[in-house]
């Protein structure tokens, strides 16, 4: 998933100047909210949700071959190795790394470990369509966290867009039976995905509200992302140890893993596509379109996941999935409507 920027929340122009360490739009002022979305920028912003939908499909395909915590750790091992030719330059900034280490540990925990691990856990008991639709609740958490913890004002059109998205999410969680909405019972996969979105919300705000040392490091997008990946491997390694050696001591099933060409291809994909290409395209797209528009492009992930699920997993969407897709698309349209400039 993307770095969902809190800049969509406020009307103050200062709220639109956000540093995006993961994507390459570091220390850059992103586009103002009434910028027109070009075809080239829209195409760039379509790549990340396409990659993330593929990530969900691969996670589902691998749930009987690679344990979820192990899959997440191996994903970051691949991505870290590929980015190493650029990332090793973090050594030149080791003094800043020491200063920013507490924040970097939190970034690795919330962004690289919790979100992806919990998503792979969710895919053990839920479908890619459901998992990605539940993840569409992210803009709501962003609005809520920004308002509560940072006193960021909420724009009307952003709130309306989030309401459309929430309607789609609740429709999926209730499996289309709105009469049961108040007594809804989450399947384990839905609950894991809700926890994952909370982790990514924390990660996004940690990026958007950097410490001085973190801000200085984020000027170097490659090394900054690379050190997050390295720390993410540490957290994921602890999760993998828990998965293989601790939980079985308390009655959990002993995990197993089979190495074949399918597993190798899956690891290459999740390490290259969702972990590197998507992050880079997202950062550049955010810098061009503005985070208030880009954040809702991430909600296209379940649409792509539905198409891929039908082709790869023979999981045909139900009627309520289609309605949810429509509500999400309406949310994207509302969020991308040009807003008149306010005169102070």
Q: Which residue has the tokens 């089979």?
A: 258
What band does 343 get if pLDDT is binned at 50, 70 and 90? very low
The reported pLDDT for the residue numbered 30 is 43
What band does 34 get if pLDDT is binned at 50, 70 and 90? very low
Q: What is the 3-state secondary structure (H, E, C) of 49-77?
A: HHHHHHHHHHHHHCCCCCCHHHHHHHHHH
Instruction: Judge whether residue 17 has pLDDT over 50.
Output: no
Instruction: Judge whether residue 117 has pLDDT over 80.
Output: yes
The reported pLDDT for the residue numbered 337 is 66
pLDDT in tens, 193-218: 999 999 988 888 888 888 999 999 98
Instruction: Judge whether residue 292 has pLDDT over 70.
Output: no
Beta bridge partners of 20: 25
Q: CB neighbours (10 Å) of residue 257? A: 13
CA 20/CA 17 separation, integer angstroms: 10
Instruction: Judge whether residue 27 has pLDDT over 50.
Output: no
Q: CB neighbours (10 Å) of residue 140? A: 17
Single pTM value for the model: 0.81
Does 272 or 13 have the greater pLDDT score? 272
DSSP, collapsed to helix, strand or coil, labels residue 25 as strand
- What angle is formed at CA 156 by the lines to CA 208 and CA 200, rounded to 5 degrees? 30
Highest mean pLDDT among 27-36, 134-143, 239-248: 239-248
Q: What letters, b where the CB count within 10 A reaches 16 and e where it falls short, cover 27-52?
A: ebebbebebebeeebbebbebbbbbb
């Amino acid at each position: 998933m993307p770095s969902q920027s809190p800049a969509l929340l406020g009307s103050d122009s200062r709220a639109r100047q956000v540093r995006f360490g993961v994507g390459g739009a570091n220390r850059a002022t992103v586009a103002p909210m009434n910028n027109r979305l070009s075809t080239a920028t829209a195409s760039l912003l379509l790549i990340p949700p396409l990659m993330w939908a593929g990530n969900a499909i691969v996670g589902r395909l691998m749930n009987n071959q690679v344990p979820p915590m192990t899959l997440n750790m191996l994903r970051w091992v691949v991505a870290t190795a590929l980015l190493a030719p650029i990332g090793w330059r973090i050594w030149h900034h080791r003094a800043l790394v020491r200063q920013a280490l507490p924040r970097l540990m939190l970034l690795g925990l919330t962004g690289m470990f919790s979100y992806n691990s919990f998503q792979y856990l969710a895919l053990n008991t839920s479908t890619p369509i459901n998992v990605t639709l539940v993840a569409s609740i992210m803009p709501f958490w962003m609005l809520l966290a920004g308002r509560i913890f940072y006193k960021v004002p909420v724009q009307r059109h952003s709130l309306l867009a989030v309401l459309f998205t929430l309607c789609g999410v609740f429709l999926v969680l209730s499996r289309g039976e709105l009469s049961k909405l108040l007594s809804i019972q989450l399947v384990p996969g839905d609950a894991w995905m809700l926890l994952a979105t909370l982790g990514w919300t924390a990660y996004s705000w940690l990026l958007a509200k950097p410490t001085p040392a973190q801000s200085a490091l984020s000027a170097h997008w490659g090394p900054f992302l690379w050190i997050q990946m390295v720390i993410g491997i540490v957290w994921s390694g602890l999760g993998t140890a828990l998965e293989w050696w601790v939980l079985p001591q308390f009655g959990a099933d002993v995990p197993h893993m089979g190495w074949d060409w399918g597993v190798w291809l899956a690891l290459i994909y999740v390490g290259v596509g969702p972990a590197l290409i998507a992050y880079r395209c997202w950062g550049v797209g955010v810098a061009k379109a503005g985070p208030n528009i880009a954040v809702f492009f991430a909600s296209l992930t379940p649409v792509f996941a539905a198409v891929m699920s039908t082709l790869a997993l023979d999981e045909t969407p139900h009627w309520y999935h289609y309605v949810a897709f429509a509500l999400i698309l309406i949310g994207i349209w509302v969020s991308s409507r040009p807003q008149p400039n306010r005169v102070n």
